Amino acid sequence: MLLIAGVLIVLATIYLLIRQYENRMVLFCAAVAMFLLAGNPMGVFKSFTDAIRENTQIIEPIIAVMGFSWVMKITECDKHLILLLAKSLRRPGPFLIPGATLVTLAVNTSITSAAGCSAAVGAILIPLLMAKGVHPAMAGAAVFAGTFSAMLNPGFAQVVVIADVAKTTPIAVIRNHTAVVIICGVIGALVLGGLAFCWKEYKGYTSKGAITDDVETFHVNLVKAAVPVLPLALLLLGNTGVVPAFKQLGISHAMIIGVFVAFLVTWKNPGALCKAFWDGAGYAFSASIGIIICALCFVGGMNAIGLIKTMMDAMISNPQVAKFSSAFGPFFIAVVSGSGETAGITFNRAVTAHAAQFGLLPMSMGSVASISGGLGRAMSPVAAGTIICAAYAGVNPMEIAKRNAPGMIVAVIVLMIYMFYL
């Protein structure tokens, strides 16, 4: 009876997430309900405390990455990078749309928020694509289809959580899934480009002229354009042994170096840069870390009523169920809720921690769950990024979602095959 009640609470949680209720509130309240059912009303408070105390090591890289991202915005270094990449899309043609998706993939490695990346890239690329004759909905889809490559940033919340669960480093996690993230990105770009070609949406649209772009006139400063990718370069140079001195750099250290370089390159008010960094850090705690804490409370509630053990027993007896659920569970939740982060983090904390029991590597299972959540969000009509891109394009968000759906579905199938069967 307790398990049935727990399943109903989980289903209600998914329903409320679909209805766009505040995800942290929904997860925490569901945790309270499950602990009450288990006869342990104080358990949720212990889970809350433990979630903060036992995860202090993941807070540092997450807040540093988001702080750096906000500094890139205030210095406009991100704009120089986007416009540098956008200049390759000046000529109209069938490869314009896949090119726009790949540009977004490149930028999303530095601007890790899907909504933030959509806003930054979409403001430039969507008007540009429309001016080149691309259908507005296809222009919006081309940008939002590339918003899952934050999985290549070692300070991204999902990567940090996988590393913590798998007892490894964020760089090791990235090495493990870099190839498949790129493959999924190329699949999404090419399928979308194929649809645009078949539907004749890659040319012929006449822009109303209400929005113009400055790709042609904006002078790109190559030094400023390099700053957003500098921390990633430092970490890769150190961890690959190319520059042994950089091996001592932590993720947060590389981001702070990036902030100082941004100051030297732009000479922006240092007080404004400091404020931007800590505003970004605060946002990271509110959004990403807040979700992690509430997700851990939710997992604690499922443990309290025995739901996790039941799930584990089912997966141990049939490992194929575990493979399928890690790929399509977070994918489905992200599609209907619009939050890839909530789907991936909750699954990884609840299930991936036990991956070894059903014959899977925690690192691979964690990557599949997180990447599939990002792919699902990229075809969600209710995701914040979809709504932002739709607003730039002047279309219904559903028009963007249905164009991205075929490519994301193919990509998640390839993801599962690549990570579990090859």
pLDDT at res. 410: 97
pLDDT recorded at residue 151 = 93
Asked if 338 and 389 count as a contact pair (C-beta separation under 8 A), the reply is no
Q: Is the dihedral of CA 184, 176, 280, 345 positive or negative?
A: positive
Name residues whose C-beta falls within 8 Å of residue 405's C-beta, 6 or more positions apart in sequence: 379
Domain with 99 in it:
2-421
Number of domains in the chain: 1
pTM of the model: 0.82
Q: Spell 109-127 as b/e; 16+ CB within 10 A means b.
A: bbbbbbbbbbbbbbbbbbb
Task: Quote the tokens at residue 7.
Answer: 């399943």
Q: Is the separation of the CB atoms in 378 and 148 below 8 Å?
A: yes
Rounded mean pLDDT for each run of 10 residues along the chain, 422 residues in total = 82 81 88 90 89 78 86 88 78 80 90 84 86 89 92 90 91 94 96 92 69 62 89 82 80 89 91 92 83 84 82 71 86 82 82 82 93 93 85 88 95 94 84
Determine how many CB atoms are found less than 10 A away from the CB of residue 180: 22
Q: What is the DSSP letter of 395?
A: S
CB neighbours of residue 309 within 10 Å: 13
| Cα separation, 315 vs 3, whole angstroms | 17
Provide the greatest CA pair distance for the chain: 67
- How many helices and strands (H and E) does the chain possess? 21, 0
3-state secondary structure of 216: coil
